Amino acid sequence: MKLYVLGACCMLAVSATKAQTVPAAEVSRIISVLAADSLEGRGTYTPGIEKASLFIESEFRKAGLSPLPGVTDYRQAFATAGRRIIPADSAAFFPGARTLHNVVGMIRGTGRPDEYVIFSGHYDHIGIIESKGEDSIANGADDDASGITAVILLANYFREHPPVRSVIFAAFTAEEIGGFGSRYFSRQLPADSIVAMFNIEMIGKESKFGRNSAFITGFERSDFGTILQRNLEGSTFHFYPDPYPEQRLFYRSDNATLARLGVPAHTISTTQIDKDQLYHSVDDEVETLDMQNIADIIQAIAVSAQSIVDGKDTPARIAPER
Ligand SMILES: [Zn+2]
């Protein structure tokens, strides 16, 4: 009995320390901007997504992130021509090409700067859709303003905990219309230099396992999840394997391109995708989210990643898809 009481006391202490690091008020502030009606659901190619980009860039600047090597700002521009992805400098040769950009920043590693760990989410959503009552804005508070909020707050976290490996923070565009942003991003660095990718998608609500939990897609494909969980020993947080394998989420999110190249690239989520009535609706609003739970998840991701960003753990490569 005494041992049990001691254990509970220590676990409480761990969560109390964590709560101070990622404040729920910051989660609320950032999600509220990204999911505001004024951003009109962040549809790709709309003024709303441009507002989202400007906000993410300002947050990256505040966090002290550097642009990627060889460029001077956070915008990673490219263009699409139909289903093709083309470099922004050749867009002029493709009639109807449209220019897009990811928002990407980094913290250079103190010891192994040429090895990269990626934290990512997507900042687009589906924009204006068929109206329900007076509302026609698909705000995408969970999908994926919650993931971008995590990316921003992880940038702030790792500024305070300087990493040994370089850490890249990426907000992808055009996920909802074909994953164009992550597909372009994933080809800009040699896959061999990328140690791991933490893609974060829909962490706004409790997972089917309850508070203080999330699941990892493709858990069984590398030892990424096992490493993360080991780093959380002593806390009450738990990462589970994806409970919805029939949904093929592993290949439906922005981790897919790098995973196909063998990178241990996984998506962390809490979505109850099989029964979430708000998914891709006008009701995916800030008011439906649990800010403290999101803050706890972000904190858990930061702590669970520590041995990887510090170069002590290197997750096994994923078998490339044939
Ligand atoms: Zn999404």
Tell me, yes or no, whether 318 lies in a domain.
Answer: no
What average pLDDT does this structure show over 11-26? 61
**Structure confidence at residue 116 as a pLDDT band (50, 70, 90):** very high
Q: Give the residue, 95 or 255, on which the prediction is more confident.
A: 255
pLDDT in tens, 233-277: 999 999 999 999 999 999 989 999 999 999 999 999 999 999 999
- What's the CATH code of the domain at 249? 3.40.630.10
Bridge-based pairing state of the strands 238-241 and 194-200: unpaired
Tell me, yes or no, whether 132 lies in a domain.
Answer: yes
| Cα radius of gyration rounded to whole Å, the chain | 19
Tell me, yes or no, whether 113 lies in a domain.
Answer: yes
Tell me, yes or no, whether 316 lies in a domain.
Answer: no
- Tell me the CA–centroid distance for residue 176 and ligand 1, in Å: 7
- Tell me the CA–centroid distance for residue 142 and ligand 1, in Å: 8
- Tell me the CA–centroid distance for residue 9 and ligand 1, in Å: 37
Tell me, yes or no, whether 321 lies in a domain.
Answer: no
pLDDT in tens, 304-322: 999 999 999 999 999 976 5
Does 46 have pLDDT greater than 80?
Answer: yes
Q: Which domain, by its residues, includes 36?
A: 2-309
Tell me, yes or no, whether 47 lies in a domain.
Answer: yes
Tell me the whole-structure pTM to 2 decimals. 0.93
- Tell me the CA–centroid distance for residue 84 and ligand 1, in Å: 21
| Contact predicate 70/20, CB 8 Å | no
Tell me, yes or no, whether 320 lies in a domain.
Answer: no
Tell me, yes or no, whether 314 lies in a domain.
Answer: no
- Tell me the CA–centroid distance for residue 312 and ligand 1, in Å: 31
- Tell me the CA–centroid distance for residue 13 and ligand 1, in Å: 34
CA dihedral 82, 83, 85, 90 (to 10 degrees): -20
Does 3 have pLDDT greater than 70?
Answer: no
- Tell me the CA–centroid distance for residue 93 and ligand 1, in Å: 31
**Count of the separate structural domains present in the chain:** 1
- Tell me the CA–centroid distance for residue 121 and ligand 1, in Å: 8
